Chains A and B, each alone.
Chain A
Amino acid sequence: MAYDVTSWFVDQANSKISSPVRKFTIGSSDYSDRVTAWPMLKVAWDQVRASKLTLTLANDDGVMNFLQQDKINMRQDCVIGVGFTHPTSGAETITLIAGKVEKFTMSKGTMRLTLADKFKAFNERVVGTSDNPVSYTGSNYLVSDIAWWLCTSYGGLDSTKSTANPDIDYANFSDWASVFSGDSVFLNARFTGMKVTEALRKISQITRSAIFPENDLLQFHRFSFINSYAKTLDNDTIIDLSVGVDDKDITNRQYMALDYDVTSRYHKSTVVAASSASVNSYGVREASFADASMWYVNSLSAINFCERVTTTQDEPYSKIKVRAPLVGMLRQIGEMVYVTDDQVGISNAVYRIMNRTFNMNTGEVSFGADPSQLLNAFRLDYSALDGSDVLS
Chain B
Amino acid sequence: MSWALFVDSSNSISFDPEWDLTEPGEKIESQHRAKSGNLYRYTWGSFDEFTFSMKFVSSSDAAIVNSWWTSNTELLFMDEATTQVYSVQLMNKKKPITKRIMPYDDQFQGKIKLGTY
Contacts and interface: CB of A to CB of B under 8 A. Distances in A.
Contact of B42 (A18, A234, A239): A18
B22 to A, nearest CB: 25
Given A16-B39, A19-B42, A19-B43, A364 B32 contact: yes
Interface of A: 16-22, 60, 234-241, 325-327, 341, 361-364
Contacts of B32: 239, 325, 362-364
Interface residues on B, range: 10 to 19
Contacts of A17: 40-41, 43
A236 B39 CA distance: 9
Contact of A363 (B30, B34, B36, B38): B30
Contact of A235 (B36, B40, B42, B44): B36
A349 to B, nearest CB: 16
B35 interface: yes
B30 A327 contact: no
Given A325-B40, A327-B40, A239 B35 contact: yes
Nearest to A17: B41
Contact of B44 (A19, A236, A327): A19
B41 to A, nearest CB: 5
Interface of B: 30, 32-36, 38-44, 72
A240 B44 CA distance: 23
21 contacts: A16-B38, A17-B40, A19-B43, A20-B42, A21-B44, A235-B36, A236-B34, A236-B35, A236-B38, A237-B38, A238-B34, A239-B33, A239-B34, A240-B35, A325-B42, A341-B35, A363-B30, A363-B32, A363-B40, A363-B42, A364-B32
B30 A362 contact: yes
Nearest to B35: A235
Contacts of A241: 35
A363 B38 CA distance: 15
Contacts of B42: 18-20, 325-326, 362-363
A221 to B, nearest CB: 30
B39 A60 contact: no
A16 B40 contact: yes
B89 to A, nearest CB: 10
Given A19-B42, A236-B35, A363-B30, 9 more contacts: A16-B40, A238-B34, A239-B35, A326-B40, A326-B42, A327-B40, A361-B30, A364-B30, A364-B32
B97 to A, nearest CB: 23
A20 B44 contact: yes
Contacts of A327: 40
Contacts of B41: 16-17
Nearest to A361: B30
A73 to B, nearest CB: 25
Contacts of B43: 17-19
Contacts of A21: 44
Given A326-B42, A363-B42, A60 B72 contact: yes
Contacts of B30: 361-364
A257 to B, nearest CB: 48
Contacts of A20: 42, 44
Which 5 residue pairs of A and B lie closest in terms of their CB atoms, listed nearest first?
A325-B40, A235-B36, A235-B35, A325-B32, A362-B30
A19 B40 CA distance: 11
Interface centre among B36, B42, B43 (most CB of A within 10 A): B42
Nearest to B27: A19
A237 B39 CA distance: 9
Contacts of A237: 34, 38
A56 B40 CA distance: 26
B4 to A, nearest CB: 24
A364 B31 CA distance: 9
Contacts of A236: 34-36, 38
